[in-house]
Structure formats: C-alpha cells, structure tokens
Amino acid sequence: MLFRFLVALLFFLLSISGYGSTIRTDSLLGVINEHSIDHNSRMHAKVLLATGFIPADMDTARVLLEQSSALAGAVHLPVERSAWLNLSGNYNWYSGNRDSAIVNYAITYRMQHPDITDRRAAAAVNLAALYSFKGLADSAMYYYDSAKELFEIIGDQAGKAHVSFSLGVFYNRRDHYELALRNFLEAISFQEEAKDTFGLAYINNSIGTVYSALQDNEKALSHYLEGIKMAETQENHPIMPSLYNNITVLYTTRFDDYDKAKEYGEKGIALAEAAGNYSILLSLYHNFGILYNQKGQYNESLHWHEKARELEDKGVDKTSIAGGLVNMARTYINLDDLDMASDKLLSALEIAGPVEANKWLQLANQELFKIDSIRGNYLGAIYHLQESIRYRDTIWQKERADKMAELEIIYETEKRDSENIMLIQANQLKEQVISNQRRFMVVTLSASVVFVTLLIIVIVSKQRLKKSNRELLDLHAKLTELSNTKDKFFSIISHDLRGPFNALLGMINILSESYEGMDDEKKQRMISEIQKAGQEAYTLTDNLLEWAKVQRGMIINKAEAVDIHASIEKTLTLLRFNIDSKNHTVENKTAPGEFIAWVSPNILTSILINLLNNAIKFTPKGGLITVFASHENDLVKICVQDNGTGIPPDKLDQLFDLGSDYRRIGTENEGGTGLGLITVKEFINLIGGKIYAESTEGYGSTFCFTVPANNTKQT
C-alpha cells in the first residue's frame, strides 16, 4: 500500500507540473478516429489518451500502449517517441516492473532534442525516485540535480517545485531533517501561490512529520491541522487517514490529551478502513493500544493491538509490526503476564533483526532486561541490558553520522549556490556589455574598458576564492584531525567507560533487589563481578584523566635527577596487589645509583605504571616480568619484558595510534581501551624520548623507552 500511495502521489505531482496534463478525451478520440490524419499523429494521440487512464484503468492503458508501440523505435520522431517511452515507464512502474521503468525513462533522458526538454525533465525526476527506492542515493541525487537544471532551462516553476518536494521526501527518509524542511518549504511556496489545495495537503503532512521528528510539537500539529483543512476541500483525499494518524500520535505521546487523540484516531480509522489503507490502519490500531495502555485500560489496549495483528499479512512493513509487538508486550507487563510479554518481545526481536529496526531492537531488549530481573534470571538480564546499550549506541552513532552527512551536503550546496550566483552575475554583466555595444557604437571603447575591468575583478575574486578554499581545506584537515581525537574520546566515554558503569549499576541493582533470595555462592560471584567492573572503570577513568591533562597542556616536565632503580621499586610497591593476585615474579635488574635520569619523577612513575600494568594484565598467572635498563649515549633506555600472550606482528604499529580500534583482553578477561599506551607515548614525547615495542605472539612482549640521562639536562 505504501508503494502504491507513493506512485499515485508522484503521478499527481507530475500532473501539476504539466507532464500529466489532461487533454479533452473527446478531442483525442477525434484525432484517433480521423483517418485523414497521418498514422504517427493518431498513435501519439493514443499515448496522450492512455496517460489519463493510469492508474485508474490499467487495462485500457495497456491496450493503447500496445497499439502505439511502433513509436518506441521512431528515432526520427523525438516528441512522439519520448511521449511513448515516458508512458511505458509510468505503466511499468505502477505495475511493479521498476527495472523496465528505469530503462524507459533512461532512454528518454538520454535523447537530445530541444522540443522534448520537458519530457527529459519528467524522466529525470522519475529516475531519481526509482533509484531512491533502490537505495542508490548518489544516482538519485544526480537525476534530481539534472531535473532541476532542465526545469530551469524551460522556466517551469511547477516542475522545480515538484523536484523540491521529491528531494524533501528523499532527505526525510534519511533523517536529514533540515534539508528535508528546506525543500518542503520551497515546494509549499509554489503550491500556495498556485492555490493548489490538493498538493498542499500532502506537503503540510510532510512538513508536520519533519517538525515532529525535531520535537517541535506545536509546529507539527499546526501543519497537520492545515493539511486537514486543505484535504477537506477535496472529496476522499487519500492523505487524510495519515494526517489523522499523525495527530493521534501527537496527542497521545506528546500532549497526553487522550480525548483529542481518540477523536482524531476514530476519524482516521473510519477513513483508512473505507480506503483499505492497511499500513495506516495498522498504525492507528497500535496507537489506540498505546493510548489505552497509558490510560490504564489494559484489556482494551490488548483488544486494539490484536486488531492490528490481524493486518500483518496485508503487506505492511516489518518495522511497524515489530514496534506493535513491543508496545503490546508493555501492556502484558502492566497485566503482570510476563510469559506473554516475553513471547511478544522475542517475536519483535526476530522481526526487527533482519530489517535493522534498531529502535525496536533496543526497546525490546530493554523490556526483556526488566522481565529477567524480576524473574531472577540475572545472566539473561545482563545480556539484554548489554544488547539494549549496544543498539542505543548504534542509534546514537547513526544519528551523529547522519547529522555530519547532512552538514556536509548543506556546505556543498551553499558553496555551489554561491558559485552559481557569481557565474550568473558575470554572465549578466557580459550580456549587458554586448547589448550596449550593439546599441551604442559610440561608446564601444568605454563599454569594453568597463567589461575588461569587471572581468579582472571576477578573475581576482576567483583567485581570492581559490586561496580561501585552500585555506579552508587546510583548516578542514586540522579540524578533521581534531574531530578524530574528539570522536575517540567520546567513543571511549560513551562505550568503554559507560559499559563498565552500566554493568556495575545493573549488577548492584540486581543484588540490591534480590539479595535475600540469593545463596552465598551467587552473592560472592556477583560481588566479584562488581569488583572487576569497578576496577576496570577506575583504571579507564584514571587513563582518561591523565590523557586529557596531557592534551590540555596541564602536565609539565619539571625535570630532576631520578634514580631509575628507586623509581621502579616505588612502582612495584604501588602495583603489589595486582602482581600478587596473579602470582607473578617481577625482577628489577637495575642497581641503586646505576642509572640516573633527568626527568619529572611523576611522569616516569606514570609511564612505568602503565607498562607494568600491561605486562601484568597480558601475562598468565605465575608469569615472569623483568625490568632492565642500559645507557645509550646521552639517554637511558628502560625496558619492561614479559613472557605473556604477545601481540600479532600486524598490530604492533597500531598500539600507539589514537585512531586504531585494536583492543586486547587480559588473561583473566581484563578489559582495556588502548588509551594507556597512547598516554605513555604522549608522556615520552613530552620528556623528549622515544618508545617502541617488540613482540612474538604466544611468547611475550618487550616495551622499551628512552629518557634523557642526568648529564643532558633538558629544559
């Protein structure tokens, strides 16, 4: 039903653009039946007549299409041929043969003749829409841009408005709301000028949808109501059920006005049932289920959800079905029927997974976490909590990527528009000079001087623009690098840091609520997991703070003479608990006073803590860790060697790269983000040293770094 609705809307928009124009049927029949008129003209009349039968009478359209099929190869008749190809494209599209429709439209678009620019523009719009349906955004944008240029050539404002509306739909589907709103507002300005109430109903509904997504509820409601006002001027306007449904959602979820929601919802149901619009009908039924659930009338809520489920075999999209099951499960939870609620949520996961409906995947896992917590299924609860967090992060990442893509498109569009304005202005100046030369020969020389002067100004302006663009590109590269750093930081905070805390809070919550019902073994296991999660969170937070301080220039290398042996012993004392917990042997191969470095003692301790912690983490219980040093000219080289798990050769270069996604898990499943080594590298750069790593996978690793010796006092 959604596909048929979109196609019907497209053909309506084509008609307002002048490409589905109604020609008097009796006049066309007169041409067809007049045998004194040449055969090609009569076939052309059949094509024009058939246009009016799509989609109402597809059989008649097919017969007329077949009777005029000779025009398909009439290369010498571009007007008649393009009319037949576009008609064939419309027929194939509405019949579901999208690939055949693309072929028809593509042939028309590639035809080069000044008398068919209008039909080439119509074909470009249709190609853009079809490629959009296929998910080929780049191809769709190419044909939308081409259609705009062709409509501009023939001065067709209605055609340009049609492209703007189509682009609004295109961007809205991709959650690019600002771009969608810009294009919808461009389209509505033409419709208001033309007083086209039929089209205004569609566009107001679309604008309302955008404002609703932007949480501007008052503007959304205003446009929905304006859409109803426009639709009421037409009999059985097809957009009316959708408008009533959207208003029902607003009053239910945003305004909590259940009486108003019920009033509009009942009107929408009556119209959708009469029209057989199953997609909108399913949405309305589920929205009534949500309404009665919020009112506390749970049995009535289930009644409406069940009515919606009866429509699932009517071709409605899977995302709507998954959402309905999640809302139905919430009602069962309120009725304390956890078995039915769990069943509906698991069904929702099965349906939402293949179509990547992340919103419903996240909410379904969230509700299953609550159910498993109530039942005492703590492992299941933790699993569903982690899944809910994972899908929430996926949604957040997509929203961020969509916003970045939208900003990039806005930048490129405004840049291109600015360049076009300059080009138009230059062309206007050139035409004015030529006109003056023809009319006033006596001022030819003066006009030429003016023109040359203006041309120089344009050239200089372009050179300045190029210089500005180069500067912008350099700035963009720097901003990109900063953005990558920021993204890494936010990624760690939003995922790696939030993960341990969420697990920590989830397990504490379970322990708090179910403490009396747990045996001692479960309690001990939960407490161990809490301790582990807390330790991970603390370590990561400490690394984040150290790294952030370096980035902000808050750590200064106040160098002084430091005994390497004493610094290593101090670090081992701080890490004694971690060392003993894994029964490691750690050997300090340096002697007191043997190696003296010129460095901040706190920075050196931080470096050693990070490197020794890594050695402890990635060495199995009972392992051997050795710390040794040597002199290298004016430097002291300090090495931390272990016989642990080692690192794959292709991953060594990624250890100190902020943009790397490489993660390692300790021998006791200790987590990590790689930020510790990044911080170590920052510290070593600060003191004027270098760091490198050697490793053999399965046999251990050696991390070495250099610091200035005492006889090379750095400032």
Average pLDDT, consecutive stretches of 10 residues, N- to C-terminus, the chain (715 residues): 40 39 59 75 84 82 88 88 91 88 92 90 90 83 88 85 84 82 85 81 90 90 92 88 93 91 93 89 92 92 92 86 92 92 92 88 90 88 88 74 55 52 50 58 62 72 73 68 58 56 74 77 79 66 64 73 93 87 92 93 89 92 95 93 91 74 76 75 89 90 93 49
> Please, are residues 641 and 625 in contact by the beta-carbon 8 Å criterion?
yes
Cα(324)–Cα(314) distance, integer angstroms = 15
Please, what is the end-to-end C-alpha distance for the chain in angstroms? 75
Whether residue 649 is preceded by a cis peptide bond, meaning omega within 30 degrees of 0, is no
Task: For residue 564, give both structure tokens.
Answer: 């390497």
| Residue 194 confidence (pLDDT) | 76
User: For residue 673, how many other CB atoms are within 10 A of its CB?
Assistant: 20
Cα distances (angstroms) measured from residue 323 to each of 160, 350, 364, 373, 665: 37, 12, 9, 22, 37
Tokens of 343: 């069943």
175-238 is classed in which CATH architecture?
Alpha Horseshoe (1.25)
Question: Are the C-beta atoms of residues 327 and 290 closer than 8 Å to each other?
Answer: yes
Instruction: For CATH 1.25.40.10, list the domain ranges present in the chain.
Output: 1-155
Our CA dihedral for 89, 94, 97, 98, rounded to 10 degrees, sits at 70
Residue with tokens 């979820």: 253
Q: How many CB atoms lie under 10 A from the CB of residue 672?
A: 20
Domain with CATH 3.30.565.10 in the chain: 560-708
Angle at the Cα of 654 (from 650 to 657), degrees rounded to 5? Answer: 165
SS3 content of the chain, % helix, strand, coil (to 5): 75, 5, 20
Q: What is the CATH number of domain 1-155?
A: 1.25.40.10
* Residues 47, 80 contacting (CB under 8 angstroms): yes
Look at residue 257 in the predicted model and tell me its pLDDT: 92
pLDDT at 260: 93
**Residue ranges with strand state E in 175-326:** none
> Residues 320, 283: contact at Cβ < 8 Å?
yes
241-308, what's its fold?
1.25.40
Rounded Cα distance, 131 and 587, in Å: 67
Task: Give the model's pLDDT for residue 328.
Answer: 93
Is the domain spanning 560-708 CATH 3.30.565.10? The answer is yes
pLDDT value at residue 577 = 82
The predicted pLDDT at position 418 comes to 52
The rounded distance, in Å, linking the Cα atoms of 647 and 692 is: 13
Specify the pLDDT at position 262: 92
So what's the pLDDT on residue 17? 38
Check: CB of residue 226 under 8 Å from CB of residue 185: no
Instruction: Spell out the long-range contacts of 383-391 with Cβ–Cβ below 8 A and sequence spacing 24 or more.
Output: 385/502, 385/503, 385/506, 386/499, 386/502, 386/503, 387/361, 388/362, 388/363, 389/498, 389/499, 389/502, 391/358, 391/361, 391/362, 391/365
Burial bucket for residue 516 (CB in 10 Å: 0-12, 13-18, 19+): exposed
- Does residue 237 sit in helix, strand or coil? coil
Q: Is the model's pTM score more than 0.85? A: no
Which bin fits 257, alpha (ψ -120 to 50), beta or left (φ > 0)? beta
Cβ-Cβ contacts under 8 Å for 499 (sequence gap 6 or more): 386, 389
